[in-house]
Chains A and B, each alone.
Chain A
Amino acid sequence: MSELDAFRTEVREWLEANCPAEMREPVRDEGDVCWGGRNFKFKNDAQKRWLEACVAKGYTVPDWPRPYGGAGLTAEQTKVFKQEMKRIHARSPLDSFGIWMLGPALLQFGTEEQKVHYLNPIARGEIRWCQGYSEPGSGSDLVSLQTFGEDKGDHWVVNGSKIWTSYADKADWIFCLVRTDKTNKYQGITFMLFDMASKGVTTKPILLISGNSPFCETFFDDVEVPKTQFIGEINRGWDVAKYLLGHEREMISGGGAGGDMVSIGGAFAKAFGKNAAGELDDPILRAEMAAFDVDVFAYRAMGERFMDMWKTGRAHPASSNMMKYVGTELNKRRHELVMSSGGSEALEWDSEETKGGARPRGWLRTKANSIEGGTSEVMLNVIAKRILDLPGA
Chain B
Amino acid sequence: MPLYHNDDQAMLKDSVAPFVAEQAPVSHLRKLRDSADATGFSRDLWTQFTEMGLPGMLVPEAHGGLGMGHMEAGIVLEEIGRNLTPSPFLSTSVGAVAALAKAGGTQAGRWLPAIASGEAIIALAIDEGAKHRPDRIATTATRAGNGFRLDGKKSFVLHGHVADMSIVAAKTDNGITLFAVPKDAKGVTADPRRLVDSSLASHVTLDGVEVDADAVIGEVDAGGEILDALLAATRTGAAAEMVGVGQGAMDMTVTYLKERKQFGKLIGEFQGLQHRAAHLYGEMEVARATVMKAQQLLDEGSEGVKLMVSVAKAKAGRAANLAVREGVQMHGGIGMTDEYDIGLYMKRDRALAEYMGDVHYHIDQVARMNGY
Contact = CB atoms under 8 A, between A and B. Distances in A.
Interface in A363-393: 377, 379-381, 383-384, 387-393
Contact of B277 (A269, A280, A302, A384): A384
A266 B371 CA distance: 6
B367 A393 contact: no
B231 interface: no
A279 B368 CA distance: 8
A263 B278 contact: no
Interface string B187-222: 000000000000000000000000000000000000
A290 B282 contact: no
A297 B304 CA distance: 12
A391 B367 contact: no
Interface in A302-351: 302, 304-306, 308-309, 312, 314, 319, 322, 325-326
Contacts of B367: 265, 279-280, 286-287, 289-290, 293
Contacts of B266: 391-392
A293 B293 contact: no
A309 to B, nearest CB: 6
A76 to B, nearest CB: 16
B314 interface: yes
A325 B282 CA distance: 8
Contacts of B287: 298
B3 A304 contact: yes
Nearest to B273: A390
Interface string A16-30: 000000000000000
Given A308-B4, A314-B4, A388 B286 contact: no
A56 interface: no
Given A309-B4, A384-B275, A298 B289 contact: yes
A393 B276 CA distance: 13
Contact of A384 (B278, B290, B371): B278
Contacts of B123: none
A299 interface: yes
Contact of A294 (B3, B269, B274, B311): B311
Contacts of A117: none
A296 B282 CA distance: 14
B258 A390 contact: yes
Contacts of B371: 265-266, 269
A269 B370 CA distance: 10
Contacts of B366: 290, 293-294, 297
A297 B269 contact: no
B278 A302 contact: no
Nearest to B304: A297
A390 B285 contact: no
A308 B2 contact: yes
A291 interface: yes
Contacts of B258: 389-391
A274 interface: yes
A387 B279 CA distance: 12
B274 A380 contact: yes
What secondary structure prevails in chain B residues at the interface with A? helix
B292 interface: yes
Interface residues of B, number: 44
Contacts of B281: 322, 383, 387-388
A381 to B, nearest CB: 7
Nearest to A297: B311
Interface residues of A, number: 46
Interface string A256-280: 0000000101101100001000111
A305 B3 contact: yes
B92 to A, nearest CB: 28
A295 interface: yes
A301 interface: yes
Contacts of A295: 286, 315
B278 A383 contact: yes
B308 A301 contact: yes
A299 B254 contact: no
B115 interface: no
B372 interface: yes
B268 A391 contact: yes
Contacts of B318: 294
A377 B275 contact: yes
B9 to A, nearest CB: 13
Contact of A263 (B362, B363, B370): B370
A289 B43 CA distance: 45
B4 A305 contact: yes
Contacts of B292: 301, 305
Contacts of A293: 366-367, 370
A143 B116 CA distance: 61
B2 A291 contact: no
A370 to B, nearest CB: 13
Contacts of A392: 265-266, 268-269
A390 B372 contact: no
A305 B371 CA distance: 27
A290 B366 CA distance: 6
B257 interface: yes
A302 B278 CA distance: 16
Given A308-B4, A380-B275, A393-B274, A326 B311 contact: no
Given A294-B315, A387-B278, A388-B254, 7 more contacts: A297-B308, A298-B312, A305-B292, A379-B278, A387-B281, A388-B281, A389-B258
Interface of B: 2-4, 254, 257-258, 265-266, 268-269, 271, 274-275, 277-279, 281-283, 285-290, 292-293, 307-308, 310-312, 314-315, 318, 362-364, 366-368, 370-372
6 contacts: A279-B372, A290-B364, A293-B367, A294-B310, A294-B363, A298-B315
